[in-house]
């Protein structure tokens, strides 16, 4: 057993922060509890302080609790989607020749604070559905031909920052759509 008085490393703090984010995604922690525990985790001096933050949570080593580092979605027609309670990796590569890809983050399990999406949208559509607390950075997306990018997400998330999505790549004659779940339906009502 590790001595609780040992000094915590950056990696120790990151592991606990990831565990806390997964627990919040599973509904085990409220947004307020997540914020409080993340603040304490990032300033913890010892491994004992970190252990106290996760003592009432299941270990992250259980089946299905570790997200892949990278997933690749290659759609050349038809539809592909990630929705419900899916584990968000650190990086997603999306290639859409034609067809539609939808990434729905409204119930997704967020395991880290930042996600990089490398995209190549030729003549299809990539749609991202977010929730409050998720910000989107599309500064590195190039638009060519008759391609279009529409982002309908508040620039600064209200409440705790859950995830920052960084988009890079090219939209040629296709479309990139990003919106916060429920925003469009409220405007129509």
- Runs of H (alpha helix) within the chain: 10-25, 31-43, 47-54, 183-188
pLDDT in tens, the chain (189 residues): 467 788 988 878 888 887 888 888 778 888 889 889 999 998 999 988 988 998 888 765 443 445 578 899 999 989 999 998 788 889 999 999 999 999 999 988 887 889 999 999 999 999 999 998 899 999 999 999 999 999 998 766 566 678 999 999 999 999 999 999 865 444 333
The DSSP code sequence of 123-162 is SSEEEEEE-TTEEEEEEEEEE-TT-EEEEES-SS-SSS--
Backbone angles phi, psi at 13, to 5 degrees: -65, -40
Quick: pLDDT tens for 7-36: 988 878 888 887 888 888 778 888 889 889
**Residue closest to 145 by CA, chosen among 168, 166, 171:** 171
Going from N- to C-terminal start, the domains of the chain cover: 10-54, 70-188
pTM of the entire predicted model: 0.64
Three-state DSSP class for residue 14: helix
d(CA 189, CA 175): 25
With H, G, I as helix, E, B as strand and everything else as coil, classify residue 78: strand
């Amino acid at each position: 057993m590790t001595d609780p008085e040992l000094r915590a490393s950056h990696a120790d703090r990151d592991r606990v922060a990831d565990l806390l984010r997964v627990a919040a995604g599973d509904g085990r922690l409220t947004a307020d509890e997540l914020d409080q525990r993340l603040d304490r985790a990032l300033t913890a001096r010892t491994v004992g302080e970190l252990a106290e933050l996760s003592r009432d949570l299941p270990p992250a080593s259980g089946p299905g609790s570790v997200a892949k580092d990278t997933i690749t979605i290659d759609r050349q027609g038809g539809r592909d989607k990630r929705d419900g309670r899916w584990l968000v990796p650190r990086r997603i590569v999306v290639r859409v020749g034609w067809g539609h890809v939808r990434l729905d983050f409204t119930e997704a399990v967020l395991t880290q604070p930042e996600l990089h999406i490398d995209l190549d949208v030729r003549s299809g559509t990539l749609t991202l559905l977010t929730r409050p607390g998720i910000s989107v950075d599309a500064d590195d997306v190039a638009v060519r031909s008759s391609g279009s990018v529409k982002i309908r997400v508040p620039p600064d998330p209200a409440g705790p920052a859950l995830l920052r999505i960084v988009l890079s790549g090219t939209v040629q004659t296709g479309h990139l759509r990003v919106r916060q779940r429920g925003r469009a339906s409220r405007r129509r009502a």
